[in-house]
Structure 1
Amino acid sequence: MAIEPPDELIQLQHASDAAHAAVRADPTPEAWAAWRDRAGEVQAAVTAHALEIGKPRNEVEAAVKKAARHPAGS
């Protein structure tokens, strides 16, 4: 059965991806800090969700990244 991540996790991943893009465009210490913060939020939320649904954390993370970066129909 496929893991369907909640919209909240997908939005957190989008925020982390945007922060990463900002680092690539202008790698200032502030941009790096923002990316670390967003990535940490995603990791914590993925871990909590994996525990909640009883699925392996890495599978949940992969499902979140896939849903955020390759939405169905695109």
Structure 2
Amino acid sequence: MADEQVDEAAGRARLVELKLASEAARVEAQQGPYSAEQWRPWLEAAAAFQEAVTAHAEQYGLENRFELEKDVVTRALHPAPAEA
């Protein structure tokens, strides 16, 4: 794999981590009664994820940012079973 492909794959792995952090913050926010302060960590994590997806798409010249986000969300929330 070329260096740029390795870098791009590592970037996608980082995006998966950001998405998982956002989901964890959402679950935490849902544990108590609604308040803006309770949801602030999720809002910040979700914004960080969206900004990172946009930056990644721009950095690697991806024409369809939506497809990148869809791929990352699928990897984060519906990972393929580990091969034996």
What's the TM-score bracket when you normalise by the shorter of the two chains? 0.7 to 0.9
Spell out, residue by residue over 1:29-60, the C-alpha distance to the aligned partner (whole angstroms, 9 max, x if none).
32211111000100000001111222211111
Pick aligned residue for 2:42 from 16, 20, 35: 35
Query: SS of 1:22's equivalent?
Result: helix
Name the larger-Rg structure. 2
Task: Quote the residue 1:47 is aligned against.
Answer: 54
In 2: Cα distance, 1:20 partner to 1:14 partner? 10
Count of residues paired in the alignment: 72
Query: SS of 2:73's equivalent?
Result: helix
The within-5 A match list for 1:1-74 is 6-26=12-32, 27-55=34-62, 56-73=64-81
Q: Which blocks of at least 5 consecutive residues in structure 2 are unaligned? A: 1-8
Runs of 4+ with >6 A deviation? none
Q: Give the TM-score taking structure 1 as reference length.
A: 0.83
Q: Which blocks of at least 5 consecutive residues in structure 1 are unaligned? A: none
